[in-house]
Amino acid sequence: KAGVTQTPRYLIKTRGQQVTLSCSPISGHRSVSWYQQTPGQGLQFLFEYFSETQRNKGNFPGRFSGRQFSNSRSEMNVSTLELGDSALYLCASSLISGTGSSGANVLTFGAGSRLTVL
């Protein structure tokens, strides 16, 4: 089956602009998580969506937002871009079994969207 698809793969923006990134999860996966990856900082958790609901959010400013659609596809938006927002944004989908925190959460990552802010 098809993997996690992220678009666009590369983009260049200038400070103050906004950007929208898209993620299509593996068919049947209902959970989508977003991460920011920068050199030396590893993978920083942005947010997680399940059935169109944001269930958890990382420590990022309100300029970072997201949503999930009924077909599980997800988008994230960054407004008023800053130089420090330059990063690889990774989306990961998972098939959550059970409810609450007791289920395993095997993440399958997309190839990422590399954002450069000038």
Binding site for another protein (CB under 8 A): 31, 33, 35, 40-45, 48, 50, 55-56, 58-59, 90, 101-102, 104-112
* Shortest Å, Cβ 79 to another protein: 23
Instruction: Answer whether 48's CB lies under 8 Å from 107's CB.
Output: no
Nearer CB in complex with another protein: 59/70: 59
* Shortest Å, Cβ 51 to another protein: 12
Burial (CB count within 10 angstroms: exposed 0-12, middle 13-18, buried 19+), residue 14 = exposed
* Most distant CA pair in the chain, distance: 44
